[in-house]
Amino acid sequence: MRASGDQIAQFFEGLAMLALVLERKGELNLRDFPLVEKLGPNDVRIRMRTVGICGSDVHYYTHGYIGKFIVREPMILGHEVLAKLLKLGVMLEV
């Protein structure tokens, strides 16, 4: 699975966000997601540096479930991230 040249260029220009989506058991795709310009009061904006794929992600990919949680619709994988914090929502400012 590879991102296209356009997807990579948009990602590095901060115009697009790529995510690895588990479509269903055994099927992955890289998909573009639109960036939301306005932050909600409890949101943060980050710039991803690295995303890890952990055992849970692999289990969802290979089995389609973990315990009682069954993948019934597309799910973004990669919840262990290294990122730079760019902006805080107004309720998070100190």
Q: From the CB of 15, what's the least distance to Zn ion, in Å?
A: 28
Question: Of 3 and 51, which CB lies nearer to Zn ion in the complex structure?
Answer: 51
Q: From the CB of 79, what's the least distance to Zn ion, in Å?
A: 6
The residues facing 80 across adjacent strands are 52
For 17, phi and psi rounded to 5 degrees? Answer: -130, 125
Where does this chain bind Zn ion (CB under 5 A)? 54, 56
Residue with nearest beta carbon to Zn ion: 54
Spatial distance between the Cα atoms of 10 and 38, rounded to a whole number of angstroms: 19
Spatial distance between the Cα atoms of 80 and 78, rounded to a whole number of angstroms: 6
One-letter amino acid for residue 88 of the chain: L
* Distance, first Cα to last Cα, the chain: 42
Question: Of 4 and 56, which CB lies nearer to Zn ion in the complex structure?
Answer: 56
Q: From the CB of 66, what's the least distance to Zn ion, in Å?
A: 10
Question: Of 5 and 55, which CB lies nearer to Zn ion in the complex structure?
Answer: 55
